[in-house]
Structure 1
Amino acid sequence: MNFAKEIMQLPKLIKESSKEMKKVKSICGCAMLTTLNVVAGTFFIPLSPTLRIGFSSIFAGVSGMIYGPVLTGFAGIIADTLKYIARPDGPYFPGFALNEFLIGMIYGCFFYKKELSFLRVLAARLCITVFINLFLTSLWLNILYQSQLFTLLRIFKNVIMFPIDVALLYFALKATKRIPT
Structure 2
Amino acid sequence: MNNSSSKTKKMVLAALFIALQVVFARMLSINTPLLRIGFSFLPVAMCSILLGPLAGGIAAAIGDIIGATLFPTGPFFPGFTLSAFLSGALYGLFTYRRAPSFISALIPVVINNVFVNIVMGTFWLSIILNKGYIALLPGRVTKNLLLIPIEAGMIFFFWKYVIKPNEARIV
TM-score of the alignment, normalized to the shorter chain, above 0.5: yes
Q: How far, CA to CA, are the matches of 2:74 and 2:108 in structure 1?
A: 29
Structure 2 runs not aligned, ≥5 long = none
Report what 1:39 is aligned to: 23
1:45 aligned partner, one-letter code? I
Task: Confirm or deny that 1:74 pairs with 2:61.
Answer: no
Report what 1:134 is aligned to: 118
Task: Confirm or deny that 1:121 pairs with 2:121.
Answer: no
Report what 1:64 is aligned to: 48
| Deviation, structure 1 residue 170 | 1.2
Q: CA RMSD in A?
A: 1.7
1:36 aligned partner, one-letter code? L
Secondary structure at 2:52's aligned position in 1? Answer: helix
**What are the Cα deviations for residues 64-88 of structure 1, in whole angstroms up to 9, with x where unaligned?**
0100011111111110011112321
Report what 1:110 is aligned to: 94
| Deviation, structure 1 residue 39 | 0.9
Kindly indicate whether the alpha-carbon contact (under 8 Å) linking 2:106 and 2:148 is maintained by their aligned counterparts in 1: no
Report what 1:90 is aligned to: 74
Q: TM-score, with normalisation over the residues of structure 2?
A: 0.88
Kindly indicate whether the alpha-carbon contact (under 8 Å) linking 2:45 and 2:91 is maintained by their aligned counterparts in 1: yes
Q: How far, CA to CA, are the matches of 1:89 and 1:104 in structure 2?
A: 21
Secondary structure at 2:36's aligned position in 1? Answer: strand
Q: How far, CA to CA, are the matches of 2:158 and 2:30 in structure 1?
A: 20
Q: How far, CA to CA, are the matches of 1:170 and 1:121 in structure 2?
A: 6
Q: Percent identity?
A: 32
Q: How many residues align?
A: 161
